[in-house]
Amino acid sequence: MADLSSSIREEAKKLLKKGEADVIIGFEKGSLPLCATPCFIRNEADVEKLIWNEFCGNNLSRYLIKAKGKVGIIAKGCDTRAIVELIKEKQVQREQIVIIGVPCEGMVDRKQIMMRCQGNKITNVEDRDERLLITGDLLNVAVKKDECLYPGCQVCTNRNPVMYDVLIGSTSEEQQTDEFTDVTNFDGKSSEERWEYITHEISKCIRCYACRNACPLCYCKECFVDTTQPQWVGKTTGQTDTLLFHIMRSIHLAGRCVECGACERACPVTVDIRKLNRKMSADVKKLFDYKTGLDIDQPAPLSTFKPDDSEEFMLDI
């Protein structure tokens, strides 16, 4: 990955200096090896903190709704797709944000690498283009970055920002994958097998809501799952309660999920949360020929009515 940190710093400095942004939301070095962390830069002197590497996985558009003033935001392809939706849903005003688009080559899953290190303490990480050289007391491993990408990044077809004010570096080559092979494969299983898979995944959930809170499109002021009057969903980690939370959340995100994978990255207990959301995306594509977060002027399929909308779900009585 070309070092884009210095270009990002330059751009951030320019925006702050000219007063075109009050704050820049970007990444700084994390406190752990193989880790970057969100940061909020308000002074020109602090732009030196900004970095860019393959560990900048967080979807920073999550912070846009809360942010005050004019905001400059570092955004990958998926992050810009979320911004498109946020603007469409009138949560963010286009003129309030400056998008510093950064082409992405897929983000590396720190936990996959940690597993390869088998609990040995990492003391140094060296970036050698396509590989990371990881060393520690009892450790000397070379890891190919593209073998440790997040599952969402492996099937991503929008590595380049879809909307931006400034583009950093040169565009990435888009992956030519059949977008929904995973969904088709899962659909091919028997209903018992699918039920078993989903209920097993759900059984791991601890209801910490990291998935929801990391999601850029989960911005409801009061989530249905928190409501107490009336209480829609039980609060236990029993199968019914947990499954209901995940299914309802997934349906609420139908046609809105931009498949950034923030939910899955945030989950501490490896729940395959994307499984349900991917199915929603595939259905929305099939029923409405719509892919989320690409075009600011394209109406959202589930908030618009067209006389020729697919009505496969209607029952003939």
Interface with other proteins includes 219 (CB under 8 A)?
A: no
Contacts of residues 229-236 at CB distance under 8 Å and 24 or more positions apart, as own/partner, are 235/207
Residues 71, 83 contacting (CB under 8 angstroms): no
Interface with other proteins includes 120 (CB under 8 A)?
A: yes
Which of 17, 11, 55 has its CA nearest to residue 168?
11
In the bound state with other proteins, the residue whose beta carbon lies nearer, of 10 and 193, is: 193
Interface with other proteins includes 51 (CB under 8 A)?
A: no
Interface with other proteins includes 230 (CB under 8 A)?
A: no
Residues 87, 99 contacting (CB under 8 angstroms): no
Contacts of 12 (CB under 8 A, 6+ apart): 21, 24, 26, 41, 47, 50, 72, 100
In the bound state with other proteins, the residue whose beta carbon lies nearer, of 183 and 266, is: 266
Residues 160-199 that bind other proteins (CB under 8 A): none
Task: Give me the 249-268 binding string for other proteins, x by CB under 8 A, dash otherwise.
Answer: ----------------xx-x
Residues 92, 83 contacting (CB under 8 angstroms): yes
φ, ψ dihedrals at 295, nearest 5°: -135, 125
- 17, 94, 116, 121: which one contacts other proteins (CB under 8 A)? 121
Task: Give me the 77-116 binding string for other proteins, x by CB under 8 A, dash otherwise.
Answer: --------------------------------------x-
In the bound state with other proteins, the residue whose beta carbon lies nearer, of 262 and 284, is: 262
Amino acid (1-letter code) at residue 134: I
Which of 241, 240, 257, 237 has its CA nearest to residue 300?
257
Closest approach, Cβ 208 to other proteins, in A, equals: 4
Residues at the interface with other proteins (CB under 8 A): 30-33, 35-40, 58, 62-63, 115, 118-122, 137, 204, 206-210, 212-214, 226, 228, 234-238, 265-266, 268-270
